Amino acid sequence: MTTLTFTARKTERIAEQKTSCLVLPLFEGRVLNDELTAVDNACDGMITRSLALGDFSGKSGTKAELTGSAQAKRILLVGCGDSASFDQQAQRKFAATAAKAMAAGKYSDALVSIASLPLDGSDATDLLEMLARQLCLATYVYTETLSKPKDLPALKKVTVNPGSLVSSAKAKTHLAMGQAVGNGANFTRQLVNLPGNVCTPSYLATQARALAKRHSKVSTTVLDEKKMKELGMGSLLSVGNGSDEPSKLIVMEYKGGKAKEAPYALVGKGITFDTGGISLKPGPKMDEMKFDMGGAGAVFGTLQAVADMGLPINVVGVVAAAENMPSGRATKPGDVVTSMSGKTIEILNTDAEGRLVLCDALTYVGRYKPREVVDIATLTGAIIVALGNHASGIFANDDALAQDLVAAGNRADDRAWQLPVWQDYQKQLDSPFADVANIGVGGGNAGSITAACFLARFTEEYRWAHMDIAGTAFSSSPKGATGRPVALLVDYLRQRAGQ
């Protein structure tokens, strides 16, 4: 993956700065400001000619690359739309458009000037973070299993001129924050994109140990099947029964807060490949089930970002990793298993396996006496029916926590929406042969809600929220992981850390 270097430097003489590409915002239908006029003069009127010819209008989301001057070899104009409505959405569009254009460019460095934008201090820092994050995302290229991988982006260094909006030091700090989120999301994308024959539960354990080696405040513990059996994790272990790949419970602890301060907990579903088990999935698109560890990937990416930022907070990340395969040893529909909590579960469908690994992980994380627990999982196809690919689903036993997560998603442009976990739905999980069934019966309606209701039975001792990211963790066209909801989770933890 490309490693970008970000820096900030104030200058009032932007036209005299030496760069391979000078990136400038331009509003629709506006007369050139002093900054743009100086650059236009330096490149012999190239900007005014482009506007006069109608080659560029300044419309939001548009761009134009022009021949530059002796100092700035190229000029990249990025449209910002109507100056009177340069709201947060327009600012984000500017950042995304500029980032994609720079990532596709043939230059190794770029200078972005935001000095002329009508922003207050907080808007400016938000834009800086979004710009750095979008640049990291735009320069990600998957190469791991390609014999002839695509060329990596040429861009290596980005300098931002914040003008008088914020100090250079503050601009650099917020660029670093955005880069941490972008790099964390890319870490998630890389893990989720890897094929199931590479990214196994054991591979995830190796990555967790490597994360601890990179960050002194992170420690990793991996529980093997023997230890999980001793702890009574019969539900988690049942999922991997049919696989030759051993299941793992991976625990990563980030200690950035006070020693005895209760941690915030993230719990990720890590099904590294999901055939459905004996309840076998249809063949079409089964290859996409390598993405079924998107929740685990998000835990990895979020912890890396939190560690890179050095947040003054304690966070524990638990990943329940297993491979769901059919074989003579595989769990059968109708089997009853005993979870770590002591509750027995009738497994009516082996393809509803994510909740089976999560329930034991959610019981296990209770020993940390966490302030709050958020689990993240590509749990149900039903959430895509409800919300499509735009928003992650949020369910919680605490409405305030749910709304804080929704607010974090709005701030981070990684949106989510709350759905109910009402007692009305719990009766669908009743079983005559166990304490609870692993799927709802009696019509099979509200599949995402009954899945959350199942998890809620194992989270009564603490504040808990469940994020169903089946519609947001990856895309089928173009195929690949999105890195969501790392940005939401990092924003949530930053708020909790008072950042």
Q: Which of 281, 332, 371, 496 is catalytic?
A: 281
Measured in degrees and rounded to the nearest 5, phi and psi for residue 383 equal -70, -30
Q: How far apart are CA 238 and CA 322, in angstroms?
A: 10
Locate 404 and state its tokens. 């804080």
The three-state secondary structure class of 263 is coil
Q: Could you write out the DSSP letters of every residue in 402-432? A: HHHHHHHHHHHT--EEE----GGGGGGG--S
Return the number of other C-beta atoms located less than 10 Å from residue 443's C-beta. Answer: 7
Q: How far apart are CA 299 and CA 276, in angstroms?
A: 23
Angle between helices 399-412 and 486-496 (to 10 degrees): 120
Q: How far apart are CA 453 and CA 424, in angstroms?
A: 10
Q: Is 355 part of the annotated catalytic residue set?
A: yes
The three-state secondary structure class of 215 is coil
Q: How far apart are CA 302 and CA 211, in angstroms?
A: 12
Q: How far apart are CA 27 and CA 80, in angstroms?
A: 5
Element (H, E) at 110: strand 109-113
Say how many residues make up the chain: 499
Beta bridge partners of 24: 77
Q: How far apart are CA 305 and CA 303, in angstroms?
A: 5
Q: How far apart are CA 256 and CA 314, in angstroms?
A: 5
Q: Is 457 part of the annotated catalytic residue set?
A: no
Show Cβ contacts of residue 43 under 8 Å, excluding neighbours closer than 6 positions: 66, 67, 68, 69, 72, 75
Locate 215 and state its tokens. 């960050």
Q: Which of 248, 355, 484, 494 is catalytic?
A: 355
The three-state secondary structure class of 63 is strand
Residue 54, judged by CB atoms within 10 A of its CB (0-12, 13-18, 19+), counts as: exposed
Q: How far apart are CA 141 and CA 190, in angstroms?
A: 9
Cα dihedral 356, 292, 306, 224 sign: positive
Q: How far apart are CA 315 and CA 253, in angstroms?
A: 6
Q: What amino acid positions are annotated as catalytic residues?
A: 281, 355
